[in-house]
């Protein structure tokens, strides 16, 4: 009897659990989805919207999709668009929801601020269908706004955030990027400024070099900083006055001239930066610049991307990141490497020649099962990454620096690829050690601190065996 009672109780529990799952949980999800679908003003996908019109009493902005993800502004005039912003706007437009219906057959739309509407949204799809909605006053709580589909009499509430999402100014939808390009695709960069003429090129291994009579290694993070300022930097504000009304835009003889090539076809991007905003003068005007001495960083500078008609202002911070001399972007490391790429080290010094390999995350004497001391190997890499004290760009014969017969020679590899090949000669008068990296014609004066890690013997760099440790009492 107890078994029967337990079985009945189990069946009841299963039935109750099934009811709770299929009706309350799954059914609740379905009812919620059905309610959301019912509250949608219209059913369309953001990707299907091909034209967006934003209208108010003061403006009419038209944006047209070009391809899948790009947009262009066509009204009030042709301008580059912020495609990310417009894609977001299209997705928002496809998903407008009613919060509640106030009147299904309103006879006086004006009392809701809907005749005429304070702002309107019009959409066109790739199938040729058109949709339109007007937004009116806020409701008494201020959390919602009145709305109505254009041509309809149903008045409903939408969230204030929905209404405000389509209350955009022209500048909100313009391309805000200083230059539009994909940073990994950049092949070369040229900067002309008061700091000099700087040419940088990227090789097939993605290493940057300062071009000239002698090719000099460039500091990759430094180059990325310049490219970040150009590709990720934002326009501070647009210059909307007629350029011909001004006497000193400074774009014909720019303070900074930037050219970069990118992609397989080496497409060109060209940016020029001219006068400070405070010094701009209309024709016929006179007077001195009105700078803000309390906040010099607030200064803006006029700029132009030659691929579009817009003129705009950039912040002084951007200008400072572009004012670079060749020495400013020179690689300061003794041997520029990414240490996690290194899986082989060969050293020749006064103690002999030996090498280490890292087959699976740990360092060993190459070709053996003898473990190397992790700290000792890291000290080698530390020494190779250490900034140099000085460069000698027009060196005398290598024998003058003891580099014809180097005291120390270090090779770092990743697989069969040589990442760095560096020789060390005699001590420099300036308080360093002369060194030269293969592929770089300059002689470097290396900081001697830490270089003792390169002049150890193999026995000093390996983990002691149990027998050795016992003999030494360790």
The CATH number of residue 114's host domain is 2.60.40
- Please give the pLDDT value at position 338: 84
Is 470 contained in some domain?
no
Per-residue three-class SS string for the chain: CHHHHHHHHHHHHHHHHHHHHHHHHHHHHHHHHHHHHHHECCCCCHHHEEEEEEEECCCEEEEEEECCCEEEEEECCCEEECHHHHHHHHHHHCCCECCEEEECCCCCHHHHCECCECEEEEEEECCCCEEEEEEEEECCCCCEEEEEECCCCCEEEEEHHHHHHCCCCHHHHECCECCCCCHHHEEEEEEEECCEEEEEEECCCCCEEECCCCCEEECHHHHHHHHHHHHCCECCEEECCCHHHECCCCCCCCCEEEEEEECCCCEEEEEEEEEEHHHCCECCCCCCCCCCCCCHHHCEEEEEECCCCCEEEEEHHHHHHHCCCHHHHECCECCCCCHHHCCEEEEEECCEEEEEECCCCCCEECCCCCEECHHHHHHHHHHHHCEEEEEECCCCCHHHHCCCCCCEEEEEEECCEEEEEEEEEEEECCCEEEEEECCCCCEEEECCCCHHHHHCCHHHHECCCHHHHHHCCC
Same domain, 307 and 222: yes
Number of domains in the chain: 3
Higher pLDDT, 88 or 37: 88
Confidence of residue 27 (pLDDT cuts 50, 70, 90): low
- Predicted confidence (pLDDT) at residue 470 exceeds the cutoff of 80: no
Same domain, 311 and 412: no
- Please give the pLDDT value at position 129: 95
pLDDT in tens, 116-154: 999 999 999 999 999 999 999 999 999 999 999 999 999
Is 385 contained in some domain?
yes
Same domain, 142 and 256: no
pLDDT in tens, 161-193: 999 999 999 999 999 999 999 999 999 999 999
Same domain, 63 and 114: yes
Is 474 contained in some domain?
no
Last residue of a domain, one of 132, 152, 173: 173
Share of the chain above pLDDT 90, in %: 73
Confidence of residue 431 (pLDDT cuts 50, 70, 90): confident
Same domain, 243 and 218: yes
Is 210 contained in some domain?
yes
Same domain, 197 and 124: no
Same domain, 137 and 230: no
- Please give the pLDDT value at position 9: 72
Same domain, 307 and 421: no
- Predicted confidence (pLDDT) at residue 11 exceeds the cutoff of 80: no
Calculate the average pLDDT of the chain.
Answer: 89
- Predicted confidence (pLDDT) at residue 275 exceeds the cutoff of 60: yes
Is 222 contained in some domain?
yes
Same domain, 65 and 153: yes
Confidence of residue 288 (pLDDT cuts 50, 70, 90): low
Last residue of a domain, one of 173, 194, 219: 173
Same domain, 325 and 343: no
Same domain, 207 and 311: yes
Same domain, 216 and 321: yes
Last residue of a domain, one of 145, 173, 201: 173
Is 10 contained in some domain?
no
- Predicted confidence (pLDDT) at residue 458 exceeds the cutoff of 90: yes
Is 311 contained in some domain?
yes
Domain with 354, as residue range(s), is: 339-464
Residues 460-469, mean pLDDT to the nearest whole number: 74
Is 30 contained in some domain?
no
Higher pLDDT, 213 or 445: 445
């Amino acid at each position: 009897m107890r078994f029967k009672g337990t079985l009945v109780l189990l069946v009841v529990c299963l039935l109750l659990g099934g009811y709770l799952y299929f009706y309350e949980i799954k059914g609740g999800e379905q009812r919620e989805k059905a309610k959301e679908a019912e509250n949608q003003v219209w059913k369309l996908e953001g990707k299907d919207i091909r034209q967006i019109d934003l209208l108010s009493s003061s403006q009419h902005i038209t944006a047209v999709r070009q391809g899948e993800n790009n947009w262009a502004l066509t009204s009030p005039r042709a301008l580059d668009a912020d495609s990310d912003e417009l894609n977001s706007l299209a997705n928002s437009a496809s998903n407008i929801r009613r919060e509640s219906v106030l009147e299904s057959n309103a006879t006086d739309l004006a009392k809701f601020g809907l005749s005429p509407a304070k702002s309107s949204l019009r959409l066109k799809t790739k199938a040729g269908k058109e949709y339109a909605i007007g937004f009116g006053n806020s409701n008494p709580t201020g959390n919602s706004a009145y709305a109505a589909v254009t041509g309809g009499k149903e008045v409903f509430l939408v969230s204030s955030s929905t209404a405000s999402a389509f209350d955009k100014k022209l500048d909100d939808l313009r391309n805000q990027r200083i230059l539009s390009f994909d940073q990994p695709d950049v092949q070369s960069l040229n900067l002309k400024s008061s700091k000099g003429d700087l040419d940088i090129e990227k090789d097939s291994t993605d290493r940057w070099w300062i071009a000239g009579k002698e090719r000099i290694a460039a500091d990759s993070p430094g180059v990325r900083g310049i490219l970040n300022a150009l590709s990720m930097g934002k326009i501070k504000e647009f210059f909307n006055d007629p350029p011909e009304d001004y006497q000193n835009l400074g774009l014909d003889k720019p303070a900074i001239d930037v050219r970069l090539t990118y992609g397989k076809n080496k497409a060109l991007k060209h940016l020029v930066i001219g006068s400070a905003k405070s010094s701009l003068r209309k024709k016929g005007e006179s007077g001195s610049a009105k700078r803000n001495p309390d906040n010099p960083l607030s200064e803006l500078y006029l700029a132009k991307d030659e691929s579009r008609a817009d003129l705009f202002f950039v912040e002084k911070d951007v200008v400072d990141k572009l004012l670079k001399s060749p020495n400013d972007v020179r690689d300061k490391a003794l041997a520029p490497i990414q240490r996690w790429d290194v899986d082989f080290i060969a050293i020749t010094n006064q103690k002999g020649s030996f090498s280490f390999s890292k087959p699976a995350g740990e360092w060993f004497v190459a070709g053996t099962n003898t473990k190397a001391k992790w700290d000792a190997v890291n000290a080698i890499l530390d020494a190779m990454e250490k900034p140099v004290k000085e460069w000698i760009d027009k060196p005398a014969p290598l024998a003058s620096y003891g580099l014809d017969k180097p005291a120390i020679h270090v090779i770092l590899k990743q697989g069969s690829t040589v990442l760095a090949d560096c020789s060390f000669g005699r001590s420099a008068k300036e308080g360093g050690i002369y060194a030269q990296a293969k592929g770089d014609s300059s002689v470097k004066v290396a900081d001697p601190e830490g270089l003792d890690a390169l002049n150890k013997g193999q026995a000093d760099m390996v983990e002691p065996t149990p027998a050795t440790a016992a003999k030494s009492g360790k």
